[in-house]
Structure 1
């Protein structure tokens, strides 16, 4: 009898580790990768006029500039001289980008699987990609943790929910 009670107790304690209905729904959602050719990715970074933020990610502040990541789209650049009134200035289009770091005037951008180095001069408003280290990062995972399959020279820059 004690063995049966112990077995039921152990079974019950492990059942709490299983996903709840909400998590199971998330796990069972189907996502489709958004894939681009490597040549398209490498020519995709562009300095553009300001745009509204769709899905904000990380925020980086350097001197009087604030960079707000638009997840997998790029970075919004704001004049942050007056933190109570940031002024939208530019958008750095970088499909697949999720993060950036800045040292001096050099920006390091995580763009999908690549680490891109660029310079930005606020005085001249010049933005220039100076280097690209290919395949530094793994391919992007779907929000439910699954991986997509790509051919050689194909890069996943985002995922879309299949309804």
Structure 2
């Protein structure tokens, strides 16, 4: 009997040290930042230059350099003089983390969608030419939680609960 009680006490002590694995605990650590699909699909716009908040990947194509601002968009620089890049514009693309460029076509992964854009550096104009919906899975939280968005909601980022 004493061994059973002792074993139960040891198990109880160790189990209190283990991380809970239920969704409630994970949801309390991070909260998804959501956009309705209708808003999300109209969210890519050119804006004036702005400071980088959280830099990601860098892509250079010709005289242009693109620096990702993770889950925010891309800073576009004139890179004709690599010693003195000049910030031109910001491509606001909520949920975006990467891009690729072939010829004059920019491919952006914007959260769950693959967006095709033509960008004219001479006129500094951008046109969205195609959007392939739900190519990528919903964004997961930094601790691996998938979230539970409604049918027309897109997770564009995760914020830490404080």
Q: TM-score, normalised by structure 2?
A: 0.82
Structure 1 CA distance for aligned equivalents of residues 51 and 131 of structure 2: 27
Aligned runs of 1:123-162 on 2, under 5 Å? Answer: 123-162=122-161
The CA deviation string for residues 130-159 of structure 1, in whole angstroms up to 9 with x for no partner, is: 100000000000011111001111100000
Maintained 8 Å contact 1:114/1:137: yes
Match of 2:101 in 1: 102
CA positional deviation for 1:29: 7.3
Match of 2:9 in 1: none
Q: Does 1:118 align with 2:117?
A: yes
Q: TM-score, normalised by structure 1?
A: 0.82
Maintained 8 Å contact 1:29/1:144: no
**Length, aligned pairs only:** 138
Structure 2 CA distance for aligned equivalents of residues 134 and 32 of structure 1: 23
Structure 2 CA distance for aligned equivalents of residues 140 and 71 of structure 1: 12
Maintained 8 Å contact 1:58/1:99: yes
Q: What RMSD, in angstroms, separates the aligned Cα atoms of the two structures?
A: 1.5
Q: What are the ranges of 5 or more consecutive residues in structure 2 without an aligned counterpart? A: 1-17, 19-25
- What secondary structure is seen at the aligned counterpart in 1 of 2:88? strand
Structure 2 CA distance for aligned equivalents of residues 150 and 88 of structure 1: 36
- What secondary structure is seen at the aligned counterpart in 2 of 1:39? helix
Runs of 4+ in 1 over 3 A off after TM superposition: none
Match of 1:69 in 2: 68
- What secondary structure is seen at the aligned counterpart in 1 of 2:109? strand
